[in-house]
Amino acid sequence: MNTKLRFAFAIFTSCVVFAIQSFALPAPPASADGLIIVECPPLPVEPQPAPGILPPLTPRIVPPIRRDCSTYLAVKNHYVTVTIENQIARTRIDQTFLNESTYALEGTYIFPLPEDAAISEFALWVDGKKVEGKVLDKNEARRIYEDIVRRQRDPALLEYVGRNAFQARIYPIPPQSEKRVEIEYAQILKAESGLVRYVYPLNPEKLSPKPLKNVSVTVSIRSNAALKAIYSPSHDISVTRKGDYEARVGYEASNVKPDRDFVLYYSVAPDEIGLNLISYREGSEDGFFVMLVAPKIQVESTRVVDKDVILVLDVSGSMQGVKIEQAKRALYYVLDQLNPNDRFNLVVFSTSTQVYAASLRPASAREDARNFVSRLRAGGSTDINRALLEAMQSADRERPTIVIFLTDGLPTTGETNAQKIIANVTNAAPKNVRLFTFGVGDDVNTILLDSLAEKLRGASGYVRPNEKIDEVVSAFYAQVSTPVLADVTMDWGSARVYDVYPYPLPDLFAGTQLIVAGRYRESGATTITLKGNVNNAPQSFRYGDVTLRASGGDDAIPRLWATRKIGYLLNEIRLHGESREIVNEIVALAVRYGIVTPYTAFLVDESKDVLTESGRAKIAAAPTKAPAPVFGPGAVQRSIEQSQLRGANIAPAVPTAAPSGSGGMTQTSVAPVQAVGNKTFLFRNEVWTDAQFDPSKMTTRKIEFGSDAYFALLANNPDVGKYLALGVRVIVVVNGTAYEITNTGAGASDASAVPTAVPATPTPAQVSRNASAPTPTARQSTPASPTDFTCGGLLLGVLVLVGLGWRS
């Protein structure tokens, strides 16, 4: 090989090595509920060419680091078991890591501790052997997080700034093997206004490179005082009560990436009916609250409200076969569960109606009623209007009355106009009647059933084709079989409360809890009075230790309130028709809180202007779709979804669809909407943009990612960390000031952009965004350096030299 070619090959080799090292992607941290920061081993060194082939200027080939190593470390299983006894919580975590690579790994395990938690007796085992570790205070932990952010240019860990942490070394993690990690710690839970709060840091799981095969959290609660409300604003939990003093709470999921901490509230009180309030307020904005009202599980017979139950069953021809047999079993269950002082009657209908008894019968007559039900046969048409009027006429106006109405079809005889049926039944019904409708199958008029239930302060339910009538009805009746307070109202004292949902308030039943969401203007202490009737006698319960926060609190509450209000507004449109004012309100709420509705699918469309008032007004004024059908599978599903929104106990997950422009992102599919605490961020023009930022009215103060000003912003206000963790390009509004995090690669920014002390915002509970938040990589977002152009020029020169050498 001649000298020209040897020189050209040397330059080419240098540039290739430089390109490999410069353009390799930074390794994201693998994680369990703690974080394992993996130290990637180097690739094997390529063999050097034989002496004499290349000139002395040949560079030494430096082995590039394996940039993909952490992507092979997955969390297989994650199980959490918690026991809480008289406010002392012991948490045990059992998780399994899986190293699917062909080489051993080592790393540092960091477990972010719950905020403001008094942790003791912390211990960690790896494969059954106890491992020594170190508890880091929040300053030490922050320095570690910042160092990782500087080196990897990945801000994801900034969300945990402000927390203490536990650190331990884990080595080795053998190739193609599992590593079991167990953690145990104890903490004393604080009680505030009768509410005890437990938080488990499940949120870091979203950084796992793969979904978890299994995740579960099981909490056993024991208390010397009676347990009342048990509630999670973060997860859909199951609650099994063992009397008034014990309960078991469970959450399970599979093939998921948990994106928020597990938060659990429970209350203890000797009162017959417990009442507790969780509130949140930020700045000068009106506050938000969730109120939990829960009676005892075991209620004295004198405190049980005597009630009447009227069962109305469709026995038309379409109910033949399996349907009528399941419906009979549902009626048997209700009859068997009547309380001793309850009364009942039955109305069955098809083309005509048949009433079981001329007047309400005592519960002791249930056997004769069972015989009546067993002889029922299906046949004929469907006269819904006449059947419900018969039921209303047999009601006693002096006692609370539950009417359970089951039908599988549309009105086909008698009065068939839905609006006239609604008016007839509403006018005939006594004020003490609560109507609960069940549509069997999909060929039912959802507007008719939902409107009747709404006007008569009940609820509607649907038995889908793959469900059993008896199972659905019996599950419902188990919840309403023991009323303890009827005609519930609330006096809020000096709190100046508004926009309360559900509206109107439902009756209160033993073994259940009423969850109310609303807003308030006045902070501070107030006295709330719960009013209602017990066996026609007025009852009131006063709660004088209720406080509405002036700042801070649980930042999951605003989205929950917005969810319920949007559900209420959508139902108003569906039942009573569309109005421009309601549509405008839905659009504004959806943008602010990141909730997708039939009117706000534009949230996932980057081309839509939703950040300015004029843009939102234009969207709201757009022509709407044709009215939705009132019957059929689509109508039933729509009714169910809106009912879920109105009665939601947790806010819905953010939408998961890929933005139209995905350049500069490490994920191929991300959610273009992210809910972070009390804020919503929209992915617009490659930037995560705070929904409170209005570009027509606000200008941004630019801060370069990774600069001194960037970390100064974080140090002055650690609560901003969870917003900065979205990515390297973010616009966030903090107390009226819009900060824009840029990623130009300049490495410097205007330090004056950060005030000496950023005005502090309340410290909320961590309610995180979706796991797939895009983080632009260094390769994708950093402009080419002069060296890049030099190497490019040299490579061009190589081609020229090679050409000349070949010719010669």
2 burial (CB, 10 Å; 0-12 / 13-18 / 19+) is exposed
The residue type at 700: T
Task: Give me the residues of the chain with pLDDT under 70, please.
Answer: 1-36, 39-73, 116, 205-209, 601-604, 622-627, 655-671, 746-808
- The Cα 510–Cα 298 span in angstroms is 7
Name the token pair of 524.
Answer: 């501070």
Check if the beta carbon of residue 205 is closer than 8 Å to that of residue 93: no
Q: Tell me the Cα Rg of the chain.
A: 32
Beta bridge partners of 118: 188
pLDDT for res 392: 97
The residue type at 86: N
The residue type at 553: G
Q: Each residue of 100-133: b (16+ CB within 10 Å) or e?
A: ebebebebbbbbbbbbebebeebebebeeeebeb
pLDDT for res 576: 87
- The Cα 386–Cα 388 span in angstroms is 6
| Phi and psi at residue 694, to the nearest 5° | -110, 105
pLDDT digits (tens, 9 = 90+) for 745-803: 765 444 445 544 433 333 333 333 333 333 333 333 333 333 333 344 433 343 333 34
pLDDT digits (tens, 9 = 90+) for 64-121: 554 445 544 577 888 999 999 989 999 999 988 888 788 888 777 788 887 767 777 7
Check if the beta carbon of residue 517 is closer than 8 Å to that of residue 560: yes
Contacts 24+ apart (CB under 8 A), 174-178: 174/99, 174/104, 175/99, 175/101, 175/102, 175/103, 175/104, 175/105, 176/99, 176/100, 176/101, 176/102, 177/98, 177/99, 178/76, 178/96, 178/97, 178/98, 178/99
pLDDT for res 773: 36
| Phi and psi at residue 427, to the nearest 5° | -70, -30
User: How far is C-alpha 114 from the geometric centre of its chain's CA atoms?
Assistant: 19
Beta-carbon contacts of 711 under 8 Å, excluding residues fewer than 6 positions away, are 146
pLDDT for res 309: 97
Beta-carbon contacts of 219 under 8 Å, excluding residues fewer than 6 positions away, are 82, 83, 84, 198, 248, 249, 250, 264
- The Cα 574–Cα 413 span in angstroms is 25
pLDDT for res 167: 84
pLDDT for res 606: 72
